[in-house]
Amino acid sequence: MSWDMVDLYLGDWEDFSFPSGEADLIVSSPPYNLGKQYEKKVALGEYLVWHKRVLAKCVDSLSSNGSLCWQTGNFVDRGSVVPLDLLLYPIMQELGLKMRNRIVWHFGHGLHCKKRFSGRYETIMWMTKSDDYYFDLDPIRVPQKYPNKKYYKGPKAGQLSCNPLGKNPGDVWEIPNVKYNHIEKTDHPCQFPVELVERLVLSMTRQGDLVLDPLMGSGSSLVAALLHGRRAAGCEIDKEYFKIAEERVGQTLRGEIKTRPMGRPVYVPTTKEGEK
């Protein structure tokens, strides 16, 4: 791999001159308008207007058979929770996008709430520009629960009743989020795991396709793309986060990047014999 496979842009996505119809997959996680250190909290209506501009440019940048995967969570205002994907869906629909899945990303750790249940999931809105979109399930199949199950009657009696390559992972994905001692942790406060993007890259693009992240943060989307022989492009407005993404891309190209292996089972603590 070489830097010829990557295009990094320091600046605002709205100012980035990106060719129309070039991206085969656009995947990103926008700010949730919570007033974190990398964002300025604004009125919800203003936030949605900004989102419409950003998404409109994404739609223009997306190829006719490409996919847009928008990973988002909740906007919380004085304890009141607003699911952002529900607010963004009408905007995407107005832009001509069609939803294929609402993927739930479940993780076991996060902030502990005292006046409501602690949030342990976010969502990925998988949208396509047309009905003629690319999707290949085989690279992301997971082990069958009953791999040796067979038909017990009919013309296929005795044959395996499940796909030997594995099963569809479904639309609820349990993948650890990037916290403290996670192998991928950087100084970015809200990076998402490379494994989360790998599933999208492998199932929605081919070798050599272009993966774009217009709000790339720490560069996880680009790392996932490059690890699997795709081209990558990203845009980041914050200089410090851009440096982090640039370094991680360089590590990937040199074969030095450290990531949590895709498909590794989630760690479950065990107890000593006799403990309850």
Asked if residue 276 has pLDDT above 60, the reply is no
Question: Of all residues in the chain, what percent carry a pLDDT higher than 90?
Answer: 58
Q: How far is the C-alpha of 251 from the C-alpha of 72, rounded, in Å?
A: 27
pLDDT computed for residue 162 by the predictor: 79
Backbone torsions φ then ψ of 203, nearest 5 degrees: -90, -20
**Strand blocks (E) in the chain:** 6-10, 23-28, 62-72, 74-77, 80-83, 98-106, 121-128, 172-174, 210-213, 231-236
Can you read off the two tokens belonging to residue 80? 């009141």
pLDDT in tens, 185-214: 766 667 788 999 999 999 999 999 999 999
The pLDDT tens digits for 249-268 are 999 999 999 898 887 777 76
Instruction: Report pLDDT for 161.
Output: 75
Q: What are phi and psi of 225, to 5 degrees?
A: -65, -50
Distances 212 to 59, 122, 176, 191, 196 between C-alpha atoms, Å: 12, 21, 23, 16, 15
Q: What is the pTM of this model?
A: 0.87
List of domains in the chain: 3-138+169-253 (3.40.50.150)
Least confident of 70-74, 162-166, 205-209: 162-166
pLDDT greater than 50 at residue 9: yes
Backbone angles phi, psi at 150, to 5 degrees: -130, 160
- For 126-155, write each residue's pLDDT tens digit: 999 999 999 999 999 999 888 777 777 878
75/173 Cα distance (integer angstroms): 22
